[in-house]
Structure 1
Amino acid sequence: MLVHICCSVDSHFFLQKLQRDYPQEKLIGFFYDPNIHPYSEYQLRLLDVKRSCKKLGIELLEGPYDFETWIKTVKGLEDEPEKGKRCEACFDKRFEVSVQKALELGEKKVTTTLLVSPLKSQQQLKKSGDLFFKKYGVSFIAVDYRSNGGTQDQSRVTKEKQLYRQDYCGCIYGLTMQRKQQNRLMDEMFSSVSNQILPASIEERLELYRYRIKLEDKNITYKIIKEKFLNYRQFNFKLISQKSEVIPAYALFYSTLPRKKTQGKIEFLHNNIGYFNREEIKFVTLDFFNQTCNLHYKTLKELLFNPPAYDDELKFRKILTNTNYDLSPIIIIDKIPQTKLTIELDAKVYEDTKEKLMIL
């Protein structure tokens, strides 16, 4: 039986049930989910599915990540709600490819782990499955593992196996609606142009889950926990001279401005820090930053495109401010300017939750 897999939270529990109920069937997992966006999220879910299938002794195949084709498939349905027509089109697309894979492998039965997701309509899934049975003669096995406490049991398995529990279906349109309803920043769609690993980002989770696989390979016991913290995303920063020239500069993590723009000048210098006359802004040179943090940046351009880890930026901020709660802009430049300056800074600080791995 070919089993279309969407994520480990659904697949691990679902596959365990199939192994119990269909012991005569050889189960083949098929990860085909071009709806998942961004690609880093796709990689993260695939990584955890691979781990799950390995533990269950199930062969796993990966389908193509044809995201552009999927976008065309759901064109015009972008504003459809969850369980609406966009989901139907998405199911049809994924089932079409899954059935073709089953026929290629000589399999006559298919099913999908989407059936166990409480966020999906089993009726929609069965409708799509039956459609392809009529078209190709491949039977769709529509099992119901959600009833009679199944959803609660699935949640227990997810926690016990420390599976990656994503908080959106994967679809960019569904995510957009979800974040609007929650009044939350859609930070899943933000990645640093400098490739800096940002806190609570998909990239940070990828590193964590790759690391946990290495620990498991070495039989090292660990625990993944969650913690609340104050997150930060910087969208735009520019330092402009009185002559309207852009000055190379770097704004440290947690630098914020209430109105996104301010003008003024540096009033005085003290202990290698230049104090701006507005918004509690501080300036330091690249040389001072290097000396203090034991770094070796030669130019601002190098710093901009290859910044240190955000933890290192926070350490430097604490050295300058002697507090963990400072949100004033700290700007690194080549030399302290004496001219009038315009600072444009668009950034957001917000409550968030991130995962942390503890070795026991």
Structure 2
Amino acid sequence: MEKALVHICCAPDSIYFLEKLKNDYKTYQWIGFFYDPNIHPKSEYELRLLETKRVCQKLNIPLIEGKYDDEDWLLKVEGLEKEPEKGKRGEVCFDIRLKESFELAKNIGAKAISTTLLMSPKKSINQINHVASVFSKDYNIDFISVDYRKDNGVRIMHELTKAHEIYSQDYCGCIHGLINQKDDIDMFMWAKMMPGSKEELVFIKSIRLLAESMGFYTKEIKFSFLGWDLLNAYLFVDDNPLASYVRYYSKPTTGVVKTSIDKELSTENTFYLTKQNLKIVFDFDTNIFDPSPCFIVDKSFKDTLFKSQKIKAKIASQISYKDSSILIVSRKPIKDISIIKTYKTYERYFETPTYDVMDILSKIEDEAISFVGAFDMGGLNKLKEMFDGREICHNSWSLCDRVL
């Protein structure tokens, strides 16, 4: 059987397209190629890759991952930042991704090539065909152009995406699309995995891919919660920056606060400052629903802080609505489960992950395991609401190792 390569841009555009392509062109052995150096940020790229792996796993299509080089992509589209969807930047982007796809097709001996870009309602089929026709002639490899959007194809694609609980992105993928197509842009990177973040969703999707490959039943439950974004913060002690975290839900300070330790009120685990209700705590398991502006500092700095003469601090933050997920994994259908063990999906300040995901999955027997996003902000309550009457076991200290 002759080989054929299909360039894959994302899971939603793939789930219906690939199945149709396999059925309509059965004489080929199809190989997937995920090559999308345009996607920003890296967490978004990882999320789309994970969901593409799930789709290919379901359809039994081998998948090759291309090189992720967003810096090179940005240089090649320089000057086209303001171009609209289906504009000149899109054509250059197709040129970059399809050229690499034809190069790979030549190297593996593929006789034909296609792309799931043809499925996206936001892409111009004429633009894609124009770019592909040039490479088809140069490489002497057939380009299979199909319009699976017709005959309710887009509706079927959306139905399959929803049925398989596949992440559906809300912008094209590149940083320019992110800026131009979204009103609320999360441009901030975190050292820790935050509740409701892309990193958290990548973690949940990673576990799902692993669990499904091991033959487990999986179910993903989405929910909304009141979130919080840190925009900017710092803590200086006697003019030296001090390593610190800002506690979730901390209200913003009014500008820069020049203050000092209130030694009369301060306790062993909490140092109160003299202005704007600011405080510094040394215990990570503090009340996250206390909105007082609060820094969390390692205990090794306690003496330095107590002896300090002056402190300069700032917190810029905002409340926002966010979404998260609960992943349930079991050996039998979810409706037959009576006991659910829960684990958090994010790290909190100085905690060290204490559980390994593979170890957790390998020990599943009659009970179900749930990995709960935004655990303290509504995730656990959502799980209890959805499975009222069933035994739910959790340990507030339990965390999952994100390295799968």
TM-score, normalised relative to structure 1? 0.80
Q: Which has the higher helix share?
A: 1
Name the structure 1 match of 2:41.
38
Q: Offset at 1:116? A: 0.7
**Aligned residue number for residue 149 of structure 2:** 146
**TM-superposed deviation, 1:216:** 1.9
Compared with structure 1, are the counterparts of its residues 345 and 137 closer, same or farther at alpha carbon in structure 2 (3 Å cutoff)? same
For structure 2, the 5+ residue unaligned runs are 335-404
Please say which of residues 170-179 and 243-252 is displaced more in the overlay: 243-252
Identity %: 39
2:221 match: secondary structure: strand
Question: Does residue 221 of the first structure (1) align with residue 217 of the second (2)?
Answer: yes
How far apart are 1:266 and its partner, in Å? 4.7
Query: Cα 1:67–1:343, aligned 2, differ >3 Å: closer, same or farther?
Result: closer
Alignment match of 2:276 (pick from 276, 279, 286): 279
**For residues 166-210 of structure 1, what are the alpha-carbon distances to aligned partners after superposition, in whole Å with 9 as ceiling and x for unaligned?**
22222111112123xx2x1324xx322xx3111222221221112
The question of 1:342 aligning with 2:342 is answered: no
Q: Tell me which of the two structures has the higher relative contact order, counting C-alpha pairs closer than 8 angstroms and 6 or more residues apart.
A: 1
Alpha-carbon distance between aligned partners in 1 of 2:245 and 2:167, rounded to the nearest angstrom = 34
Q: Partners of 1:99 and 1:220 in 2: how far apart?
A: 37
Given that 1:263 and 1:343 are in contact with CA atoms closer than 8 Å, whether structure 2 keeps it comes out as yes
Closer, same or farther: CA 207–247 of 1 in aligned 2, 3 Å: closer
2:53 maps to what in 1?
A: 50
SS in 2 for 1:204: helix
Give 1:329's match in structure 2, choosing from 257, 278, 293: 293
Counterpart amino acid of residue 23 in structure 2: R
Paired with 2:243 and 2:62, the residues of 1 have a C-alpha distance of: 52
What is the distance in 2 between the residues matched to 1:239 and 1:107?
58
**2-structure distance, mates of 1:93, 1:332:** 46
Residue 271 of structure 1 and its aligned partner are, at CA, apart by 5.8
Closer, same or farther: CA 264–270 of 1 in aligned 2, 3 Å? closer
CA distance in 2, matches of 1:69, 1:5: 20
How many angstroms does 1:346 deviate by?
2.5
- Paired AA for residue 25 in structure 2: Y
Whole-Å separation in 2 of the counterparts to 1:26 and 1:250: 52
Separation of aligned partners in 2, 1:225 and 1:147: 31
* Correspondence 1:208 to 2:172: no
Structure 1, unpaired ranges of 5+:
290-312, 319-323
Partner of 1:257: 252
CA-CA distance at 1:350 after TM superposition: 1.6
Q: 1:246 to 1:73 in 2, by over 3 A?
A: closer
Paired with 1:331 and 1:19, the residues of 2 have a C-alpha distance of 55
Of 159, 164, 178, the match for 1:161: 164
Indicate the SS of the match to 1:343. Answer: strand
Superposition deviation, residue 96 in structure 1: 0.9
1:234-273 equivalences in 2 (<5 Å):
234-241=230-237, 243-247=238-242, 249-267=244-262, 268-269=264-265, 272=268, 273=270
Structure 2 length-normalised TM: 0.72
Aligned-partner residue type, residue 211 of structure 1: I
Q: Shift of the alpha carbon at 1:158?
A: 0.9
Give the distance between the partners of 1:74 and 1:85, measured in 2 at CA. 9
- For residues 355 and 206 of structure 1, the distance between their equivalents in structure 2, rounded to whole angstroms, comes to 11
